[in-house]
Structures are given as C-alpha cells and as structure tokens.
Amino acid sequence: MKSRFKLFAIAAALFASGIAAAHHSRANFELDRIISVEGVVTEFSWKSPHVWMKVESVDRRGETIEWLVEGNAIPPLRRMGWTRDAFKVGDKVVASGNPDRDPDNKLMFLQYISANDGSVLYNLKLPPEEEAKVAERLKPTEPSTDFGGTWIRVASTKYFLLGSFEPPKNWPLTEKGEAQVAEFDLANDPYLRCHVTAIPRLTYSPFGHRWVRDGDTINIEKEFNPVKRTIHLGMKEHPEDIEPSRAGHSIGWFEGDTLVVDTIGFVYDDWGNYRGLDSSEQKHIVERYTLTNDGYGLHMELTQSDPEFLTEPFTMEWDYIKQKDYEFEYQPCTIESAARHLELNEQ
C-alpha cells in the first residue's frame, strides 16, 4: 500500500504541476535561476493554450519595465486554485520565475506569484505539503478492471519542459523523413497555429485521458484536446468504407490480459508522426495496453508504421497512473496565446 501511495503522490505532483501544460520548450529560460519582479498587472489573459500576464515594474534607475509572464495551461491552474478572476488590471503582485536567457527579453516563465493580500498561487510545482494534499485528493477509490478510468502519463518534469521538444532521434527514417528532421524548427510546430495534436502525439502528451467502456466500444476523451477516439472491440478487421480522419479508425481485441488496438484510416498530418515529422495516409498505429499495479497503473507499447517517412516500424513505451475522475477543461486554442512566447523575438 505504501508503494502504491508513493506512485499516486508522484503522479499527483506531475498532474498538478506545469509539466502538464508544456507545448513549447522552455530551453530559452534559465530554469535553475529564479528572479522576482514586483509590479502592477497590466494584462491578465485567461486563454488556451497558456495563461499570460503582463507586469509593469520600476527598476533601480526609476525606469518602467513591462514583463511578459508565461503561465501554465488552464486545467492544471484551476486544480491549483486559479480562476479567470484571479488577477485584474491594477493588482499589485510579486511574480517569481525563470528569466529568459537573453537579458534584453523581459520574459519570465512563472513559478509562483504573490498577491497584495499575501496569498500565493503556484504555476509549476507545489510545495511538498500541498503535493501531499493533492495526492490524497486525486487518489482513486477503486482500481480499473476494464481499462476504464482517468489516466495521466508519468514522466519527469525535465522531460516535459525540455526533452519532449526534440525531433526524432535514432528513428528509422526514410530520405524524406531525414530531410524533414534536418530542417526542424520548433517555431514551425503546427500547434502554434492551433492545429491540435492527433494520434500518436495525442496519446503520449501529458494531459489526462478518460476511458469509458460501453459494451463493445471504449471511448477516449483527452483533456485540453477536442479530438476524441472510439475503439471498436471484438474486431480484427477494419470495414472497407472508413472515412479518413486525423484520429483514424480503431479496432481492438484482447490477447490474454492485453488490449491490442489497431488504427488505420488517417489523413496526411503535419507533424503527425512526431515533432518535426509529418505522417501520411499510410500511417498505421498498433497499441498494446496492459493493466499494472493491481489496476491502478497502465502500461502502453505503441508501434507506428508509415512507409513514406519510416523505413520500418518504430516502437515507444509509456506508463500511466489512474487518477480519481475529475472535470476536464477545454477552451478553444487561440493563436495569440499559442505563439505569444515568440512575441519578443519578433520585435
């Protein structure tokens, strides 16, 4: 029981923290350095995919400086006590976070912010005592027996802030795939144009997945993403009249305790195989799911094939932890918010 609660604590910390918000790398920030800026809120933008603030401060020389402060995504912020009315123009605050590596860019990745009344709201990581409270609150009351439930991927903060924003490495790429990866530029991520992620990026991104078993189907909803999936159980062949889509057509069957999900019927998708690597109509995804940790954990093995970009199938693996069901939050992405971190570089 102790080890199970430890898993819940780890997952809850990840779940409540800013790693669940990342859609662009934070490599431009000094993540090992925190500065504090005291000033007045001149803008508070409660939009997807990220919340943004502007804080106007006065430096030692008496000059006014306006800081652009990057916050988390709305779902994890709500779970940490934020609301759309948390701040308003004119509020006095002290924002603490990681500064941009370029000192000329008055850009900060928020860690926590203190309001004028002394209250503190956290953006990325909660204090240990708060993490323990979240772990207890999110601990599921029952294990999963049929793959149903709300699942969150387990990975390190460092991975979600930095490592998940690299192009494919050591993948079996075709000449066309190699050419795309050679031209990789994170600023070209379709997500910055609010082109929401689909399979397989949808599968391994950090937000919650809700699985609902309903007779011969499993319906999957992804937090923070409008793309929904349906797995048709008991089938080993796809129908001939599939309507191609970004989610594809999924069928599933059981091999012992393992759920095998086969998905075809895709459309061409920008960066649809991985960051920096498109996918074609020939993409074929096979997922193998197994319940672990007595039904409180889920292991996934995903193999993707796409002869236009891959010379052979490529396999990745992840683990998920079960959470108590919670209300998913979805607000349409705005291009203004998605690409705002590029704002200072364009000036």
Per-residue pLDDT of the chain (347 residues; tens, 9 = 90+): 444 544 544 444 454 444 444 455 566 788 889 999 999 999 999 988 789 999 999 988 889 999 999 998 887 788 788 888 999 999 999 999 999 999 889 999 999 999 888 889 998 788 888 878 777 877 888 999 999 999 988 865 555 554 456 889 999 999 999 999 999 988 888 877 888 778 898 887 777 899 999 999 999 998 878 888 999 999 889 999 999 998 999 999 999 999 999 999 999 999 999 999 999 999 999 999 999 999 999 999 999 999 999 999 999 999 999 999 888 877 777 777 766 655 555 44
Domain count of the fold of the chain: 2
Residue 313 within a domain: yes
pLDDT at position 117 is 85
Whether 125 and 167 map to the same domain: the answer is no
Whether 82 and 154 map to the same domain: the answer is no
Q: Regarding beta strands 284-292 and 277-279, do their DSSP bridges make them parallel or antiparallel, or are they unpaired? A: unpaired
Whether 45 and 107 map to the same domain: the answer is yes
CATH number at 258 reads: 2.40.128.20
CATH number at 81 reads: 2.40.50.140
Q: Is residue 270 within 8 Å of residue 279, measured between CB atoms?
A: no
Whether 202 and 121 map to the same domain: the answer is no
Torsion of CA 48, 163, 157, 50, to 10 degrees: -10
pLDDT at position 19 is 46
Residue 137 within a domain: no
pLDDT at position 273 is 95
Alpha-carbon distance values, 102 to 57, 156, 170, 327 (Å): 18, 26, 31, 39
Whether 35 and 95 map to the same domain: the answer is yes
Residue 99 within a domain: yes
Q: Regarding beta strands 284-292 and 107-115, do their DSSP bridges make them parallel or antiparallel, or are they unpaired? A: unpaired
Supply the range of the domain harboring residue 241. Answer: 149-323
Residue 305 within a domain: yes
Residue 57 within a domain: yes
Residue 347 within a domain: no
Whether 153 and 262 map to the same domain: the answer is yes
Whether 212 and 254 map to the same domain: the answer is yes
**CB atoms near residue 207 (< 10 Å):** 20
Q: Which of 96, 129, 162 is the last residue of a domain?
A: 129
Whether 275 and 225 map to the same domain: the answer is yes
Alpha-carbon distance values, 61 to 35, 57, 64 (Å): 18, 11, 9
Whether 121 and 155 map to the same domain: the answer is no
Residue 333 within a domain: no
Whether 67 and 168 map to the same domain: the answer is no
Alpha-carbon distance values, 94 to 57, 112, 117, 196 (Å): 10, 9, 11, 33
Q: How far apart are CA 90 and CA 103, in angstroms?
A: 26
Whether 85 and 232 map to the same domain: the answer is no
Token pair, residue 104, equals 């000329």
Q: Is residue 19 within 8 Å of residue 26, measured between CB atoms?
A: no
Q: How far apart are CA 287 and CA 259, in angstroms?
A: 8
Q: Which of 129, 162, 185 is the last residue of a domain?
A: 129
Whether 101 and 164 map to the same domain: the answer is no
Q: Is residue 150 within 8 Å of residue 325, measured between CB atoms?
A: yes
